[in-house]
Amino acid sequence: MTRPVVAITADTALLTYTIWKDVPIAALPLAYIEKVVAAGGVPLLTLPEPGAVAEVVERADALLLTGGQDIEPLRYGAEPHPRTLPPFPARDEAELAALAVAERRGIPVLGICRGLQLISTVRGGTLHQHLPEHSPAVPGRYDARRIRIAPDSRLGAAVGPSATVHCHHHQGIDRLGAGLVATAWSADGVVEAAEDPTARFVVGVQAHAEMGEDTDPLFAAFVEAARAGARERAGV
Catalytic residues: 113, 208, 210
What does the chain look like in DSSP terms, one character per residue?
-PPPEEEEE-EEEEEEETTEEEEEEEE--HHHHHHHHHTT-EEEEE-S-HHHHHHHHHH-SEEEE---SPPPGGGGT-PPPTTSPPP-HHHHHHHHHHHHHHHHHT--EEEETHHHHHHHHTTT--EES--GGGS-SSTTSPEEEEEEE-TTSHHHHHH-SEEEEEE--S-EESSPPTT-EEEEE-TT--EEEEE-TTSSSEEEESS-TTSSSTTHHHHHHHHHHHHHHHHHHHT-
Amino acid of residue 66: T
Strands 11-17 and 20-27: antiparallel
Q: How far apart are CA 38 and CA 81, in angstroms?
A: 39
Cβ atoms within 10 Å of 213's Cβ, excluding its own: 8
